Structure 1
Amino acid sequence: MTQVAIQPAVHRRHQPWYKVLYIQVLIAIALGVLIGYFYPDLGKELKPLGDGFIALIKMMIAPVIFCTVVHGISSMGDLKRVGRVGLKSLIYFEMVSTLALAMGLLVGEILQPGNGFNIDPATIDPKSVATYVTKAKEDGIVAHLLGIIPDSYVGAIARGDLLQVLLISILSGFSIALLGKAGEPIAEAVDKAAKMFFGIIRMIVRVAPIGAFGAMAFTVGAYGLGSLLNLVALIGTFYLTSILFVLIVLGSIARLAGFSILRFIAYIKDELLIVLGTSSSETVLPQMIQKMEHLGASRSVVGLVIPTGYSFNLDGTNIYMTLATLFLAQATNTHLTIWQELGILGIAMITSKGASGVTGAGFITLAATLSIVPDIPIQSIAILVGIDKFMSECRALTNLIGNGVACVVISISEGELDRDALHEAMAHPLEMGEALEPGGSA
């Protein structure tokens, strides 16, 4: 059984509290809420700050995934292991995703957050959700599967589609590995390119507080905290369900694997704060790759599990889909039998696959689910338009934690980590923007 040794933690020079990045992000989020609440027009004008930061990070995701996966597979040697890790990941994703969907249904049935709304679907303007409905109908299952294949090798990286990039990365990694000695210079060049890309990310993450400030100011300024009051039952139920899922389901999985879910959450606190500010888990994908490698997970496992999880292991999105579907049925007085609810669960298992970590993807997948379920009027999702931005933050946070736990579990199953090394690494996490180099060592 192979184990990856964790290098001793580097003793860092003590920084003043105001220079610690996660504290800066917390302050930025608080200031953004205040600006958006007291000066909503100004808050709306600050939207480009958040958009700019997200765009900067997203431009680096495709090359980072490409280099990480290609070098990881090409340097692994045992190509059968790549297939084994991929199969394990997909089985794990399906099991945990199904639990997330089921928990959304269960809590929705118990708490009944939509009861008492008595909304007449005929009074809802369908134009307010026309874009989402059209998008949902266009993204059929067959179209989604064909969409994994890029129109060109370079086009996949240029567009930054995660599954397309993952496909060409896996093919490239296998191709280089099969070249033997002739492929070693290519793998080395890819590794050096990865160091350059992570160097760029080190610079970008330093402006994370500015991005979080702009995104939060816009959210509160555009939608207002008052919009939360009308649908506080749904929002509260969703956050409660997500917390229970993380603590009970993911917590149990973590305990069986030999680590604490609370310690893991503390380990990725920097990334969670960035996601809270930007409502997108994609903004920390490169950093999550490094954090997992710092724990001792191999680059090949991290490179396969994390990017694939961003499309196939969206626990928060799954909870949202079944819970929101039940909420809309209850709010419109649409009675659903147990068989119809199980049917919704089955449909959601399909429509949830391939939703990326981008803000709003959960809303589109919800529309896709309702377009297949004729019992619930699809125009009823207009009720959720005003609060979806607030709920997307919880979706992204839950997705991120779920993907991190999946990576650790798969890595442990491959014999790469022992518990002592894992606990030591979690006790000394990399700080955001610090020592982000391929290999994960600080």
Structure 2
Amino acid sequence: MTARTGRHFLQIPGPTNVPDRILRAIDNPTIDHRGPTFAELGREVLAGIKTIFVTDNPVVIFPTSGTGAWEAALVNTLSAGDAVLLCETGHFSNLWREMAGRLGLNVETLDGDWRHGADPASVEEALRQDGGRRIKAVMVVHNETSTGVTSNIPAIRQAIDNAGHPALLMVDVISSLGSIDYRHDAWGVDVTVGGSQKGLMLPPGLSFNAVSDKALAAAETGGMPRSVLDWRPMLDAGKNGFFPYTPSTNLLYGLREAIAMLHEEGLEAVFARHARHAEATRIAVRGWGLETLCQSPNEHSNALTAVVMPNGSGADDFRKRVLSAFDMSLGAGLGRMTDRIFRIGHLGSFNDLMLAGTLAGVDMGLQLADVPHTRGGLDQALSFLAKTSAEAGA
């Protein structure tokens, strides 16, 4: 095994680098999850996480990955045989679709090309055609991690309203929460699905459902058989800061610290930092003469960038070369994009020098793997970072 010096560069779009401050918080001694000290922690994180979703409504915290929160959104509000409308925008939207099918839901899919976000006009038309109101929910991924494409959630909400349709709006923000502007209440979302391991800067293991009054009403009158993922006992116990079963106490310590860090920087500043790093990355890609998978400038993700490999060059071999030579992990292409793209994660606890190192690793990797490209992308990105840093300082 080759000896390594320095720190591994984890530049996949999640799990992200966990800052030392959060690692130290997680390192606290485990406490009695039925005692008063835990109740204080529970109340603090249950209140604090609402500020990140920008909601006055409850947020349920599950000791699962985001996949568990996907399932919780479905089983608490829908019944087997219900129809749902899914906007296909990439690999993760398709995984959510497959889950819905396995749960006995009838999934109608608005097919996508993986290079654009969900189309509000198509959503509106599909709902207008649903005269019998069979469709009970519209499912959208806000930031598709497999493609680096975002969807306009307020426009999807408007499309549902324009159609006069009562369907619930369910949105996956697993890779956008804490990195891209998102507003559960203001955007009229009924169930928002989040995870801990990306913009929240935590290890995997916590997931979230932010729920509207309409979603809560659906859970009271319907839903599928559920136990661990049932909102009702979670919400009842949460009123006093507790969980109905053993929680992930040490991750909750980390969550409290992550919420504090996001507010110390300020959410608007956090989003601006991500936008600036994303633009620097896209400048580098353009400077290399390469193409981003996302084709609409207003849909570019600020959490990651998916880069299309030139014909004749495999993304997987390129990533292996970068890992071997520079100890840096880049995201793989998933599903239909396997070996066609690589993904650069630039979210979470991240700064200019970390991005500079990341882009330098990609630049050297392109040379090492003999990938056809134009020199100069790295210099252009660094110039942008220097210029915008000086402007911010002024």
Into which bin does the TM-score normalised by the smaller protein fall? under 0.3
Normalising by structure 1, we get a TM-score of: 0.24
Using CA pairs under 8 Å that are at least 6 residues apart, name the structure with larger relative contact order, 1 or 2.
Answer: 1
* TM-score (normalised: structure 2): 0.26
Structure showing the higher helix proportion among its residues: 1
